[in-house]
Amino acid sequence: MLTKLSAFNSHLLPGRSLDEQMDNTLVLAQHLGFDALVYDYTPVPIDHDGALITPSVLQLRNTPSDWYSLWCSLGFYQIDPVQHLALNCVSPFVWSYEAKADTPLQKIINRRHAPVSCYLHDQQMTCGVSVPIHLPRGGFASLTGLRTGKARTVLQDARQTLADFNLITHALQEAAYPLFSKELRSYPHIHLTKRERECLKWAADGLTAAEIATQLSRSLAVVTLHLASAMHKLGAKNRVQAVVRASHYRLLDD
């Protein structure tokens, strides 16, 4: 497989479109016996309550036509146990939805995951390999390869390809990440103004509203207004909570 991967290096290079990167990754994955691919990326993987955030990028290859809407619009992503496993793992893993299979999925799956489990059983996509990638500054990506066929045979074959699929995933991520814009690498659901961010940054350093007003050469009323607006956008009850949430969503990063 290393020879095959080397042969595709010219295709997995920064600068090409993400669609092209995914198409070429699918070719590599098909050599390993995978039938479909799911790639996701999010700059912030969970919200302040611990729920999975719908990814900013979801690229699919050879999945059913309703996959995107189910995962991104109807909440399947939030109850996808493979995604929960991936976020809490640092190593690639094989998974199966078959009850008698011996994979990490059997340790966490429950009735809450039933919609996802039933859907994948109906699609005969009950086995796969997932590779989590924990990125600098807290971003998260993963690539999942899905297989169809008889459960036991498919699971055995998937285990054989774990290392090679890991290599493919990291090659894809290295090629894809430079394509992401600054906006794509930022949490998209809360937008703070420049002044709101400045005020929260000073508040994070322990300054009072009056001290922030002095630093920014603004009136106390204006600074208080900026802080109140930021608190509202963040759904925060007070200034401390606003700073914590803004930091969580990396809205204070330069």
- pLDDT one-digit tens code per residue, 59-113: 999 999 999 999 999 999 999 999 999 999 999 999 999 988 999 999 999 999 9
Nearest-angstrom CA–CA distance, 195 and 250: 16
Give the predicted TM-score (pTM) of the model: 0.89
Task: Considering the chain, tell me which residue range(s) the CATH 1.10.10.10 domain(s) occupy.
Answer: 194-248
Amino acid letter for position 80 = D
- Mean pLDDT value of segment 15-43: 92
Q: Are 251 and 187 in contact (CB under 8 A)?
A: yes
- CA-closest candidate to residue 118, choices 88, 152, 76, 74: 76
- Which CATH number fits the domain 194-248, given the four candidates 3.10.450.30, 1.10.1740.10, 1.10.10.10, 1.10.3720.10? 1.10.10.10
Q: Are 78 and 53 in contact (CB under 8 A)?
A: no
> pLDDT exceeding 70 applies to what percent of the chain?
93
Nearest-angstrom CA–CA distance, 125 and 157: 14
- Mean pLDDT value of segment 120-134: 95
What is the per-residue DSSP string for 174-226?
A: HHHGGGS-TTTTS-SS----HHHHHHHHHHHTT--HHHHHHHHT--HHHHHHH
- Mean pLDDT value of segment 228-249: 96
Nearest-angstrom CA–CA distance, 122 and 42: 28
Neighbouring-strand partners of residue 59 = 39
- Written as six digits, the tokens of 15 are 């600068």
Task: Considering the chain, tell me which residue range(s) the CATH 3.30.450.80 domain(s) occupy.
Answer: 2-179
User: Confidence class of residue 41 from pLDDT cuts 50, 70 and 90?
Assistant: very high
Match 């969580």 to its residue by tokens: 248
- Which CATH number fits the domain 2-179, given the four candidates 3.40.47.10, 3.20.20.70, 3.40.1160.10, 3.30.450.80? 3.30.450.80
pLDDT at 3: 47
Strands 93-96 and 57-61 come out as unpaired
- CA-closest candidate to residue 29, choices 49, 1, 65: 1
Q: Does 242 score more than 80 pLDDT?
A: yes
Q: What are phi and psi of 15, to 5 degrees?
A: 110, -30
Q: Does 31 score more than 80 pLDDT?
A: yes
User: Confidence class of residue 214 from pLDDT cuts 50, 70 and 90?
Assistant: very high
- Mean pLDDT value of segment 165-192: 91
